[in-house]
Structure 1
Amino acid sequence: MAAKGTPAVNAAKAAGLDFRLMEYEYDPSADAIGLHAAQSLGLDPAVVYKTLIVQLEPKALACAVIPVAAKLDLKAIAAAARAKKADLADPALAERTTGYSVGGISPLGQRKQLPVFLDASAEGRAEIVVNGGRRGLQIAIAPGDLARALKATVLPLAVA
């Protein structure tokens, strides 16, 4: 498949990861971007993961990767990051820090690579799908490969 040239795709290639690219028609009016991606690609939402940038106290950022249908357990990520508390980062700060636009934030190839926390639901799956670095582009990858490449901490982060 031809390179899409996003920093995420370039980072995956540079790390020697085995992955597939998947594209869909991004709908900026979708209520839930990740669920829209899963539906557009004909995938079970349980295998499609969203990337959330989290503001930790005191003053740090982290990256959480959880299933698109789930909500992030802010207490769990704060505890894992040894922070007093956690909240979702301001979208403008997330964009400046990662170099990606909201709706296209990937855990791979961030401008400033943040610590990554991957939900434990990814374990045991042959493949998960994460954002490929732009709206409408997804990367299908083995979760173990993704976790190793990003030095991710794997733990339960998602709540229904």
Structure 2
Amino acid sequence: MSKTTPGTLMLSKLGIAFDLHPYDYDPDAPRVGLQAAEALGIDAAQTFKTLMAEVDGKPVCVVVPSDCEVSMKKMAAAFHGKSGHMMKVPDAERLTGYKVGGISPFGQRKKTPTAIDETAQLFDTIYINAGQRGLLLSITPDDAARALEAPFVDLTA
């Protein structure tokens, strides 16, 4: 497994500190983020999943705790829209350059407006996909928000 991804390259270029955490990825896990948290022995609320969605037909990225669901209404409001829905897998993979299960908010092929759930601020460190299946990175919430130019907002149902 390579430890270099477009996401890790982006963070390094920005001079943002992070640590890598490889784990045994289970493609059959019903919820990949929860499986990653369990494999690494970390709190699922501290492990954040990257979801690609659309608000009023425009692509957006949301970073939310692995043990929560996104509120489509709150997501749409966060991006000043009326309605939102999850992006289809092929569209998410084409837009980000990553495979589902390994999508990182960092270093995506096309820069997409991003928001991070406000609960990230409860932790000194959060875990987010580094850009490949079986590899998370840990980062401070403020550094993640700075790298992504993303606000902290209430996104969960």
What's the % identity of the aligned pairs?
41
**Which whole-Å CA distance do the structure 1 matches of 2:9 and 2:48 have between them?**
19
Length-normalised TM-score, structure 2? 0.97
1:124 Cα deviation after fit: 3.5
**Equivalent residue letter for 2:145:** A
1:1-160 to structure 2, matched below 5 A, reads: 4-57=3-56, 59-159=57-157
Length-normalised TM-score, structure 1? 0.95
Equivalent position SS for 1:123? helix
**Which whole-Å CA distance do the structure 1 matches of 2:73 and 2:41 have between them?**
32
**Which whole-Å CA distance do the structure 2 matches of 1:32 and 1:124 have between them?**
23
Unaligned segments of structure 1, at least 5 residues: none
CA RMSD of aligned residues (A): 0.9
1:93 Cα deviation after fit: 0.3
Q: Moved runs in structure 1, 4+ residues, more than 3 A?
A: none
1:80 Cα deviation after fit: 1.5
Unaligned segments of structure 2, at least 5 residues: none
**Equivalent residue letter for 2:82:** K
Equivalent position SS for 1:133? strand
**Which whole-Å CA distance do the structure 2 matches of 1:65 and 1:100 have between them?**
15
Equivalent position SS for 2:49? strand
**Which whole-Å CA distance do the structure 1 matches of 2:85 and 2:106 have between them?**
21
